[in-house]
């Protein structure tokens, strides 16, 4: 028969039409499904620090007043410029990973010069840390000068305004939300160490009487108010489920690796319908039949919304159309290993009417070994942390191919840090001390199973609740003491952190003697 001729078999034509329609419907359905996101949250913040900077008194700290002046004074004698700085603390108000959607700042003018000149005021992001009790026109901290006095150096602040507002008389004014203002707060939420607040500066410097007295955070009623609207992000799919081809009777396993704010919830679907009780990160189908052939995906959700994985196609071949059957018995799919582990690999291939020609192995899509026999056993040595997809593809003498894939993970040890008490702290003997430790979870880290606490290698407690982890400790020995927190993950990997404190004897108050 000429291979170029079109088939006229009604059954084959019907199957082809059905396959095309199924693919088209799935593509259109996937394009129409939106990711679900959490409703926005609005928080309002007051400054934790603000101060006035005076050109005429460049080394004077003017923090703690109920107003701060920015703009140019009405008499041109000496330095007449005033500027203001203010900073807000996002900690505990905006969660890690939050997506900032809107930012606005309301300020109130409490006093204006006689015959005032109106001007536009800028908010410019400050790039260097400063303190309310130490900042001046010349210095951001005691003995630490600004690059340029007045906070206008390239290393001191961003020259472009993050937001502006036109200011005239008394009353409230709002710096509106802008992409730059949102970017400032997003950067501070992502890395709190970069949060140095804003410079409040008039664009009318050089024009007399643009100065305005703005209320500070010391004025609980009229002080600045920062309004931030944010959403928490939905989960992110790090590893998608893979397409699979199985023979009737085989076991098919689909797995997904997701990251996001815990807890993460899973719901597997088959051809867009929920599968009852399939709510784990992996879906295992045993003894598959042709009825199980179709598209599988998982919906992952958390407080920030939901995300859908790609649709993985399961193809189930009837037994009379057996391709080479590949089984990877080690490692099991979804298993986890310690960092730098040796991972044993074992695979077997079964062929029907043909003989085995080759078995080729791939990790994350890259070929690394070819064998000509079955079973195959070898070791992947000293693996670095990462997510691995191990695929074995068998080819028989009739050029038919079959393959199997397993996914496993090599994870990093946990990280732990003692946050309280601080290193070097002096503690009275027999006092009640709460020792607190926090843990970090790198991208490939596991879950913490416990955190043990030690004083000079003697265990003083254990914490297995959610972070932060803590124990109560009563120091009973004078002198230098070493406190150690040891975190253990679900693979038994250990991370430690130690600090030294000094335990002292509190002296009693001496009696008072009066000579009359």
Q: Virtual CA dihedral for 68, 70, 75, 80, nearest 10 degrees?
A: 100
If asked whether residues 277 and 399 sit together in one domain, one would say no
HSE-CB for 341 with a 13 A CA cutoff: 20
- The answer as to whether 17 is a domain residue is no
Domain boundary among 178, 199, 231: 231
Please indicate, yes or no, whether residues 201 and 286 belong to a single structural domain of this protein: no
Residues 225, 240: one domain?
no
Question: Does 431 fall in a domain?
Answer: yes
Calculate what percentage of the chain has a pLDDT beyond 70. 88
Cα 180 versus chain centre, distance:
21
Same domain? 225 vs 364: no
Give pLDDT tens digits for 414-423: 888 999 999 9
- Written as six digits, the tokens of 182 are 């949102």
Note the pLDDT of residue 26.
39
Residue 332 lies in a domain: yes
Q: For the residues 136-153, what does the mean pLDDT come to?
A: 97
Nearest-CA neighbor of 312 among 301, 328, 326, 298?
298
Residue 426 lies in a domain: yes
- Residue 163's domain spans which residues? 42-231
In this structure, what CATH number is given to the domain that contains residue 292? Answer: 2.60.40.10
Tens of pLDDT, residue by residue over 249-282, are: 999 999 999 998 889 999 999 999 999 999 999 9
Mean pLDDT of 143-168: 97
Same domain, 287 and 191: no
Confidence of residue 491 (pLDDT cuts 50, 70, 90): confident
Query: What backbone torsions phi and psi does residue 307 show, to the nearest 5 degrees?
Result: -135, 140
What pLDDT is attached to residue 372?
A: 92
Domain boundary among 317, 349, 369: 317
Same domain for 210 and 183, yes or no, is yes
- Tell whether the model's pLDDT for residue 515 goes beyond 70: no
> Is residue 214 located within the same domain as residue 104?
yes
How many domains does one find in the chain? 4
Is residue 144's pLDDT more than 80? Answer: yes
Strand blocks (E) in 203-243 = 212-215, 225-231, 236-239
Indicate whether 107 pLDDT > 60: yes
**Mean pLDDT, the chain, whole residue set:** 88
C-alpha distances (whole Å) from 278 to each of 6, 180, 251, 270 are 43, 44, 16, 10
- pLDDT of 18 reads 47
Most confident of 89-103, 174-188, 354-368: 174-188
19 in any annotated domain: no
**Do 252 and 341 sit in the same domain of this protein?**
no
Cα distances (Å, whole numbers) of residue 82 to 56, 198, 270, 370: 9, 15, 66, 75
What pLDDT sits at residue 8?
Answer: 39
Out of 392, 411, 430, pick the residue that ends a domain: 411
Q: Same domain for 245 and 213?
A: no
350 in a structural domain? yes
Are 116 and 98 found together in one domain? yes
């Amino acid at each position: 028969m000429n291979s170029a001729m079109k088939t006229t078999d009604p059954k084959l034509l019907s199957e082809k039409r059905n396959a095309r329609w199924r693919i088209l419907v799935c593509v259109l359905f996937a394009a129409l499904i939106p990711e679900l996101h959490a409703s926005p949250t609005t928080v309002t913040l007051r400054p934790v620090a603000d101060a006035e900077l005076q050109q005429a008194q460049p080394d004077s700290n003017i923090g703690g007043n109920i107003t701060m002046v920015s703009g140019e004074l009405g008499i041109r004698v000496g330095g007449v410029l005033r500027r203001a700085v203010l900073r807000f603390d996002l900690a505990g108000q905006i969660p890690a990973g939050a997506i900032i959607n809107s930012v606005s700042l309301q300020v109130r003018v409490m006093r204006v010069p006689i015959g005032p000149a109106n001007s536009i005021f800028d908010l410019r992001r400050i790039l260097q840390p400063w303190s309310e009790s130490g900042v001046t026109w010349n210095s951001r901290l005691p003995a630490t000068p600004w690059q340029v006095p007045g906070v206008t150096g390239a290393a001191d602040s961003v020259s472009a305004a993050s937001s502006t507002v036109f200011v005239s008389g008394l009353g409230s004014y709002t710096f509106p939300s802008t992409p730059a203002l949102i970017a400032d707060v997003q950067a501070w939420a992502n890395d709190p160490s970069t949060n140095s607040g804003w410079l409040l500066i008039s664009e009318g410097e050089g024009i007399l009487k643009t100065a305005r007295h703005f209320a500070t955070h010391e004025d609980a009623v009229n002080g600045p108010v920062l309004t931030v609207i944010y959403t928490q992000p939905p989960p992110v799919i790090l590893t998608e489920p893979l397409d699979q081809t199985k023979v009737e009777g085989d076991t098919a396993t689909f797995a997904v690796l997701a990251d996001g704010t815990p807890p993460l919830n899973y719901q597997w679907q088959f051809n867009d319908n929920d599968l009852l009780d399939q709510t784990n990160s992996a879906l295992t189908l045993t003894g598959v039949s042709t009825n199980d052939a179709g598209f599988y995906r998982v919906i992952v959700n958390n407080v920030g919304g939901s995300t859908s994985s790609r649709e993985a196609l399961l193809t189930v071949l009837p037994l009379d159309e057996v391709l080479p059957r590949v089984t990877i018995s080690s490692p099991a799919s979804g298993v986890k290993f310690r960092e730098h582990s040796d991972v044993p690999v074992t695979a077997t291939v079964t062929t029907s009417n043909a003989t085995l020609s080759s078995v080729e192995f791939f990790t994350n899509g890259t070929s690394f070994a070819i064998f000509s026999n079955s079973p195959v056993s070898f070791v992947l040595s000293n693996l670095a942390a990462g997510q691995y997809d191990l695929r074995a593809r068998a080819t028989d003498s009739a050029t038919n191919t079959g393959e199997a894939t397993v996914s496993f993970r090599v994870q990093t040890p946990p990280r732990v840090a003692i946050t309280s008490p601080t290193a070097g702290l002096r503690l009275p003997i027999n006092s009640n001390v709460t020792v607190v430790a926090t843990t970090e979870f790198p991208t490939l880290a596991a879950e913490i199973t416990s955190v043990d606490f030690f004083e000079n290698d003697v265990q003083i407690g254990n914490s297995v609740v959610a972070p932060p982890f803590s124990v109560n400790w009563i120091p009973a020995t004078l002198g230098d003491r070493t406190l150690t927190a040891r975190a253990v993950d679900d693979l038994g990997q250990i991370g430690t952190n130690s600090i030294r404190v000094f335990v002292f004897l509190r002296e009693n108050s001496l009696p008072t003697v009066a000579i009359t």
